[in-house]
Chain A
Amino acid sequence: MHSPARVVLPKSEKNRKKILDANPKLNAAVTGKQLVPVGAEDIGVEAVDDYTLRISFSVPAPYFINMMPHQFFRALHQKTIEKFGSAWTDAGNIVTSGAFKLESWKHYDRIVVARDPMNWDARNVKLDRVVFYLLTENATMMSLYKAGELDATYNHTVPSAWLDVIGPLKDFMDAPEAAIDYYNFNTSKGPTADVRVRKAMNMSLDKKALANWRHVKALTAMTPDGIFPGYPQPKGDPFDPEKAKRLLAEAGYRDASGNFDPKKFEASEVELIVNPDANNLPYAEFIQAQWKQNLGVTISIRVMEAKTLSKTMSALEYKGVARTGYAADYMDPYTFLSIFGSTGGANNTGWLDPKYVALLEEANRAVDHQKRYQLLAQAEQLLLDAQPVIPLTVGTTRSLKKPYLKGFYPNPAMLHPWKYAFIERDSSKWDYGMPEMGN
């Protein structure tokens, strides 16, 4: 009961746009001039009795039920928060309702959770304690795993570059993830303000080659392939460097005979900005090489530390292209499409089309599931035509686990029910290779 109200209180964490969309009154309050403290009753949340929570909507919001696993909807103990203030998450203070309770939390070191004997299902929780090590370097993680100090590694812990070696190991597990990698265009200024330039830059990238190289799936639209069953996903422009050159010639970068001339293209007015974390640099270098090979244009890469990048991106101060990505907050295409429903939030392209916004709104008013999906697909097609982004690849969750660890599976939302994990002492039952799901 306490949780949704906490989300909207001005003193709480950053509000996220989806929450606002899900809570119209709150949305109105936030977009208004002043942020007023909102009580539970204002946003259509009420506790019917001790065991029932009722949430009312002003639109059908059919994706709402999928949002429930998000951390914003976890049950919290109101009195604890009132008592400890911002220290309510400390190990001694926090009150949780899961199978494990927080035993200790040391930054940059480890989080220890122990089985909660008060949990309703405590008898079926098999592990006494789970220790999460907070590691920044994948190389460190790998050494610990090899040395036998770790039983499993978590989501994105195996870099693509290692897959030729690690991939064939029986310890390795991977699965598609509801997350995407893409590049933003600055549509507000420079050569990339021209849709033909944006389309050409997208078309001249061989995303299949990129995806094969990184051992992931190519992203052909704004939503990942095959994650949302029944969604009639449109497809963006295929790889076509010749058409790309024609478009650039049309956009004015041509020689006397009307053919595309790379020297005419203002390459110095376009930069690719990336932060140096994770796999971003290899991606950027590969894409830079593709543009060089397919268009004859050298786009320079500028590396920026993450906060500087965010600031530059949101102020639309970048020239040309900026790296970004998005992980689904809930299992619905709308989680990705809503990014471009306003100029706020993660839309750092400067692109906003009222027609697109109208289509999204219409979709969310639709009660019929298939109808809604069709409207969303229409909106997505419109987005792909305007090309404010370069879709790149679909995320993958990758991890390693020792054969004796059972009940631990990869999944697209990367939520792991630890209560079902256990250590198998009988070596004849050990998993070699990916375990059968749902055992």
Chain B
Amino acid sequence: MLRFIIRRVIVIIPMLLIVVSLTWTLVRLAPGSFYTGEKKLAPAVEKNLREKYGLDKPWYVQYGKVLKNIARFDFGNSLKYEGQSVNQILLRALPVSATLGITAYLIALLVGITMGALAALKPNSWLDYASMTLAMLGISIPNFVLGPLLVLLFSLTLFWFPPALWNGFPSKSLVLPALTLSAIYIAYIARLTRSGMLEVMRSDYIRTARAKGLSETQVVTRHALRGGLLPVVSFSGPALAFLITGTVVVERIFALPGLGNYFINACFNRDEPLIIGIVAFIAISVLVFNLLVDISYAFIDPRIRY
């Protein structure tokens, strides 16, 4: 197990390198530059700009600089927000996205697992139908539709919560974006929990557990829930990594200054250092979360060995 973890942690380094290199290439391939606007620049001005930002150097020099920056975990200054380092921006935007993402995911886990487990315990009961219909609604309504609908109801009709803006944690302004964001995850988790548990409940070791005379509560909590949660865990890794590193649509609808907002605009602005900084950060999060998922497999399902 320890060897497995060490191997995976070491693997993160070349992976990061690949992701960053591919991103760097992609940014180079995208048409236009951070200084491209509707007005063409005079050739001399463009030449000067390229010199100032080192874009006139051969590609391997520029690439080398990117690698050096990453090794030191300092991505340099943003091209769009002159005078601000990428690290400063990450530190400012990350708490916003992470707060929103974690709040939404906690809501989703709590509601989703409860709904899914209740449904699985009494399949084909009204409880099952009600919670699965609710879950289906969560999946069927896209978040850019759900968000405005919640705003219409809770901000513009009932005046309970503000319709947008970021006022830190905890605040009323967090409620609507977190709900919007969690809806689809509630649905995913509820369904995955239900199907995972149904599968496990029918399997032999549950039969054995029942035969051993364990109480139904023990069977459910010790065995069924644990085994049934496997798909949820597998799903949680990438989901959490994405939730924490920002969600473009919800951050846009609710005007939140999170990573998603910065990232999408950095792409449109061709703000290379910022793009690479955010991508590296997302990559590390994805890799670390997936590693955590793989480790937790072993704890949840003793049948899996590495």
Seen from chain A, the residues whose Cβ lies within 8 Å of a Cβ on chain B are: 10-11, 14-17, 20, 30-35, 84-90, 106-110, 133-137, 139-140, 143-144, 146-147, 149, 305-308, 310-314, 324, 344-346, 348
Is B257 among interface residues, defined by CB-CB distance under 8 A? Answer: yes
**Nearest Cβ in chain B — how far from A382, in angstroms?**
22
Identify the 8 closest CB pairs spanning chains A and B, nearest first.
Answer: A87-B83, A307-B32, A143-B163, A109-B257, A86-B83, A86-B82, A311-B31, A108-B257
**Distance of A329 Cα from B13 Cα, bound (Å):** 50
Is B265 among interface residues, defined by CB-CB distance under 8 A? Answer: yes
Is B70 among interface residues, defined by CB-CB distance under 8 A? Answer: no
Given contacts A90-B83, A149-B162, contact A143 B45 (CB under 8 A): no
**Distance of A136 Cα from B159 Cα, bound (Å):** 23
Taking a contact as CB atoms closer than 8 A, the residue among A84, A109, A149 that contacts B163 in the complex is: A149
Assess the A107–B83 pair: CB atoms within 8 A: no
Assess the A30–B42 pair: CB atoms within 8 A: yes
Q: Which residues of B contact A149 (CB under 8 A)?
A: 162-165
Summed over the interface, the residue pairs from A and B with CB atoms below 8 Å come to a total of 135
Q: Which residues of B contact A109 (CB under 8 A)?
A: 165-166, 255-257
Assess the B44–A33 pair: CB atoms within 8 A: yes
Assess the A143–B164 pair: CB atoms within 8 A: yes
**In the complex, what residue of chain B is closest to A304 when comparing beta carbons?**
B31
Is B39 among interface residues, defined by CB-CB distance under 8 A? Answer: yes
Q: Which residues of B contact A14 (CB under 8 A)?
A: 35, 37, 39, 41, 45, 49
> Which of B115-123, B148-156, B187-195, B290-298 faces chain A?
B148-156
| SS of A interface (majority) | mixed
Assess the B32–A311 pair: CB atoms within 8 A: yes
Given contacts A306-B268, A307-B36, contact A147 B42 (CB under 8 A): no
**Nearest Cβ in chain A — how far from B52, in angstroms?**
6
**Distance of A311 Cα from B41 Cα, bound (Å):** 11
Is B303 among interface residues, defined by CB-CB distance under 8 A? Answer: no
Given contacts A106-B257, A109-B255, contact A144 B164 (CB under 8 A): yes
Is B226 among interface residues, defined by CB-CB distance under 8 A? Answer: no
Assess the B31–A307 pair: CB atoms within 8 A: yes
Taking a contact as CB atoms closer than 8 A, the residue among A15, A133, A136, A311 that contacts B42 in the complex is: A15
**Distance of A313 Cα from B265 Cα, bound (Å):** 21
Assess the B47–A345 pair: CB atoms within 8 A: no
Q: Which residues of B contact A11 (CB under 8 A)?
A: 48, 52
Assess the B156–A147 pair: CB atoms within 8 A: yes
Is B40 among interface residues, defined by CB-CB distance under 8 A? Answer: yes
**Nearest Cβ in chain A — how far from B268, in angstroms?**
6
Taking a contact as CB atoms closer than 8 A, the residue among B30, B40, B44, B52 that contacts A30 in the complex is: B44
Is B57 among interface residues, defined by CB-CB distance under 8 A? Answer: no
Assess the A16–B39 pair: CB atoms within 8 A: yes
